[in-house]
């Protein structure tokens, strides 16, 4: 339609026609959700989604208005009863934090203010800077370092590795691309490193073939002698080693690489040292782990998630980069339409787009800001310690039960184990354990997930749950044994 063909119609807005009705509905939503969270222990940890709901969620886009109260009723019927379950006390699948009631309310406040935390002189920009400064304090980083809140660990790792790639080549890689480097740009990490680091290598153009996956020892920690010889071989072959990635808590077993050794190897070869501490970096707050994780303080960058072991509602991760200039140089871009002014709305802190891939960004800093103030770092430290002690309790229960065996050392908050039975093959044991996991989840009792360790199927518990109690792990163990004993091998 051409401009001159457009006829004026009555002006419209998306605000409610009756504010009081929506206000009343909002109060009801808050009451319902507080009840839901308060009583979550009485719910099953997981429920199968019925066919009727799947059909409902497959209908075409609505063309006409619907009453918000009716929409809310649909939410309660078709969406609320079928969560993944990470708010439940017996959820330990993958690595997913629990969230908090105030965190949920903070999301409402953030969405009501609805700032784009990208650019400009407004409070959200300063809240994020304050949150980043608090993150620096938690990780022992200097205030002069820089950082950005991102969607999660994957983005945090990509952001850090982009800065590392650019800083370490000494050529203008942003203009010339990675082909300007000598040979392949090679990155070193253990075979236990999360797949997002490999994805990052692909996205930043060095390619997954240039990720040197170094073998681990029996504790799932990187073999540093093999690391050194891989770096030496690449140097001899004319490649450009640029980065060592250390794990503070591997995704499979929670192993912590010898970070101090990795740091000194990285320094010896003048490589960037990055730590993927998606969940484990936060264990640094616990006095028992501060020494083991001390090298994070000297790393060039660290990635960690606040939606994992800081229990913030999804999603929010953080990356810190020691050399603020290297960070900014990797992403800053000048445009006419994003110009900073001396005064007014377009004054304010350095736009966040100069520190990451995204331009438009929500106000995820608010839930972090409010939650940290609500509990204080001491309470988070206590919750993290509690999760580790619960993991040790679970490991002890497993070790004391003749039907169960641990499949990896328990170092942090991750426990990998399996149900065992004499006279069956390894393949049958894998099948039995897989069946146990599915039956357990379907029963709504508990939700662990799984992995494969040394070719064996493992039931995997990753505990970043502030609602779990010791007794929940007792239930897990007795149910695994009960279900296992009731199954016949396939
Ligand atoms: C060690 C590790 N690194 C990175 C990630 C990716 O984080 P995210 O899922 O927040 O992108 C995870 C996720 O579990 C992880 O455990």
SS (H, E, C) the chain: CCHHHCCCCCCCCCCCCCHHHHHHHHHHHHHHHHHHHHCHHHCCCCCCCCHHHHHHCCCCCCCCCCCHHHHHHHHHHHHCCCCCCCCCCCEECCCCCCCCHHHHHHHHHHHHHCCCCCCCCCHHHHHHHHHHHHHHHHHCCCCCCEEEEECCHHHHHHHHHHHHHHHHHCCCHHHHCHHHCCCCEEEEEECCCCHHHHHHHHHCCCCHHHEEEECECCCCCECHHHHHHHHHHHHHCCCEEEEEEEEECCCCCCCECCHHHHHHHHHHCCCEEEEECCCHHHHHHCHHHHCCCHHHHHCCEEEEECCCCCCCCCCCEEEEECCHHHHHHHHCCCCHHHCCCCCCCCCCCCCHHHHCCCCCCCCCHHHHHHHHHHHHHHHHHHHHHHHHHHHHHHHHHHHCCCCEEECCCCCCCEEEEEECCCCCCHHHHHHHHHHHHHHHHHHCCCEEEEEEECCEEEEEEECCCCCCCHHHHHHHHHHHHHHHHHCCCC
Instruction: Report whether the peptide linkage leading into residue 315 is cis, meaning its omega lies within 30 degrees of zero.
Output: yes
Instruction: Supply φ then ψ for residue 320, to 5 degrees.
Output: -115, 140
Q: Contact 260/293 with Cβ under 8 angstroms? A: no
Q: Whose CA is nearest to atom 2 of ligand 1?
A: 278
Spatial CB neighbours of 86, under 8 Å, sequence gap ≥ 6? 93, 96, 97, 98, 99, 465
Q: Contact 252/461 with Cβ under 8 angstroms? A: no
Question: Which of 278, 296, 303 has the most ligand 1 atoms within 8 A of CB, as the residue to mutate?
Answer: 278
- Beta pairing, strands 414-419 & 456-462: antiparallel
CA of 392 to the centre of ligand 1 (A): 22
pLDDT band at 22, cuts 50/70/90? Answer: very high
Domains of the chain listed by start with CATH number: 115-362 (3.40.640.10)
pLDDT digits (tens, 9 = 90+) for 317-332: 999 999 999 999 999 9
Taking the CA of residue 155 as reference, the ligand 1 atom at the shortest distance is 11
pLDDT band at 181, cuts 50/70/90? Answer: confident
433 closest CA partner among 396, 375, 483, 399: 483
Q: Is the pLDDT of residue 28 over 80?
A: yes
Taking the CA of residue 94 as reference, the ligand 1 atom at the shortest distance is 14
Range 15-32 average pLDDT:
97
CA of 218 to the centre of ligand 1 (A): 22
Please tell me if the CB atom of residue 85 comes closer than 6 angstroms to any atom of ligand 1: no
Q: Is the pLDDT of residue 5 over 90?
A: no
Provide the pLDDT for residue 8.
76
pLDDT digits (tens, 9 = 90+) for 71-125: 999 999 999 999 999 999 999 999 999 999 999 999 999 999 999 999 999 999 9
CA of 152 to the centre of ligand 1 (A): 7
Q: What Rg, from alpha-carbon coordinates, does the chain have?
A: 25
Q: Whose CA is nearest to atom 14 of ligand 1?
A: 95
C-alpha 146 chain-centroid distance: 20
Please tell me if the CB atom of residue 258 comes closer than 6 angstroms to any atom of ligand 1: no
Question: Which of 249, 304, 305, 449 has the most ligand 1 atoms within 8 A of CB, as the residue to mutate?
Answer: 305
Q: Contact 139/247 with Cβ under 8 angstroms? A: no
* Percentage of residues in the chain having pLDDT higher than 70: 99
CA of 387 to the centre of ligand 1 (A): 18
CA of 317 to the centre of ligand 1 (A): 9
Q: Is the pLDDT of residue 179 over 90?
A: no
Q: Is the pLDDT of residue 348 over 90?
A: no
pLDDT band at 466, cuts 50/70/90? Answer: very high
CA of 426 to the centre of ligand 1 (A): 30
Please tell me if the CB atom of residue 317 comes closer than 6 angstroms to any atom of ligand 1: yes
Question: Which of 86, 93, 154, 412 has the most ligand 1 atoms within 8 A of CB, as the residue to mutate?
Answer: 154
Q: Contact 321/296 with Cβ under 8 angstroms? A: no
Please tell me if the CB atom of residue 95 comes closer than 6 angstroms to any atom of ligand 1: yes
Q: Contact 412/254 with Cβ under 8 angstroms? A: yes
Q: Is the pLDDT of residue 200 over 60?
A: yes
Instruction: Tell me the two tokens of residue 14.
Output: 């998306």
Quote the Cα angle for 456-457-459, to 5°.
135
CA of 308 to the centre of ligand 1 (A): 9
Q: What is the mean pLDDT of the chain?
A: 96
Q: Is the pLDDT of residue 490 over 80?
A: no
pLDDT band at 52, cuts 50/70/90? Answer: very high
Angle in degrees, 0-180, between the axes of helices 426-443 and 470-486, rounded to the nearest 10: 120
d(CA 385, CA 287): 9
CA of 406 to the centre of ligand 1 (A): 23
Instruction: Supply φ then ψ for residue 458, to 5 degrees.
Output: -120, 140
445-to-45, 57, 411 alpha-carbon distances in Å: 6, 26, 26
pLDDT band at 3, cuts 50/70/90? Answer: low
Spatial CB neighbours of 259, under 8 Å, sequence gap ≥ 6? 246, 248, 275, 292, 293, 294, 295, 296, 299
């Amino acid at each position: 339609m051409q401009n001159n063909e457009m006829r004026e119609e009555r002006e419209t807005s998306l605000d409610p026609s009756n504010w009081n009705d929506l206000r009343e509905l909002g109060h009801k939503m808050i009451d319902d959700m507080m009840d839901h969270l308060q009583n979550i222990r009485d719910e099953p940890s997981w429920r199968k989604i019925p066919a009727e709901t799947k059909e409902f969620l497959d209908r075409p886009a609505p063309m006409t208005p619907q009453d918000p109260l009716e929409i809310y009723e649909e939410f309660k019927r078709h969406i609320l009863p079928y969560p993944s379950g990470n708010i439940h006390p017996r959820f330990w699948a993958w690595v997913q934090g629990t969230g908090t009631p105030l965190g949920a309310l903070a999301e409402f406040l953030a969405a009501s203010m609805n700032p784009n935390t990208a650019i400009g002189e407004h409070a959200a920009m300063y809240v994020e800077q304050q949150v980043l400064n608090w993150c620096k304090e938690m990780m022992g980083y200097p205030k002069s370092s820089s950082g950005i809140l991102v969607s999660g660990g994957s983005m945090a790792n990509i952001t850090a590795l982009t800065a590392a790639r650019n800083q370490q080549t000494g050529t203008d890689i942003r203009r010339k691309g990675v082909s300007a480097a000598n040979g392949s740009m090679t990155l070193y990490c253990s075979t236990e490193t999360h797949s997002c680091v490999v994805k990052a290598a692909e996205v930043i153009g060095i390619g997954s073939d240039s990720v040197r996956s170094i073998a681990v020892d029996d504790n799932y920690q990187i073999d540093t002698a093999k690391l050194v010889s891989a770096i030496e071989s690449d140097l001899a072959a004319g490649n450009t080693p640029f980065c060592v990635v250390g794990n503070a808590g591997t995704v499979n077993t929670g192993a912590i690489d010898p970070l101090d050794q990795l740091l000194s190897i990285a320094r010896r070869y003048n490589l960037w040292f990055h730590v993927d501490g998606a969940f484990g970096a936060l264990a640094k707050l616990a006095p028992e782990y501060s020494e083991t994780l001390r090298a994070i303080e000297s790393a060039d960058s660290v990635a960690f998630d606040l939606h994992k072991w800081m229990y913030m509602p999804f999603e929010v991760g953080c990356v810190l980069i020691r050399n603020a200039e290297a960070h900014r140089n990797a992403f800053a871009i000048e445009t006419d339409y994003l110009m900073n002014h001396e005064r007014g709305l377009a004054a304010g802190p350095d736009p966040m787009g100069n520190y990451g891939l995204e331009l438009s960004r929500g106000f995820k800093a608010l839930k972090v800001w409010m939650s940290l103030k609500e509990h204080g770092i001491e309470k988070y430290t206590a919750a993290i310690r509690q999760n580790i002690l619960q993991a040790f309790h679970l490991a002890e229960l497993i070790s004391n039960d003749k039907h169960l065996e641990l499949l990896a050392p328990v170092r942090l908050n991750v426990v990998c184990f399996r149900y065992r039975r004499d006279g069956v093959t390894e393949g049958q044991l894998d099948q039995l354990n897989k069946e146990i996991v599915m039956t357990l989840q379907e029963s709504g009792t508990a939700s662990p997930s799984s992995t494969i360790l040394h070719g064996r199927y493992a039931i995997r518990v990753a505990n970043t749950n502030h609602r779990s109690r010791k007794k929940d792990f007792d239930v897990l163990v007795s149910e695994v044994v009960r279900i296992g004993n009731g199954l016949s091998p396939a």
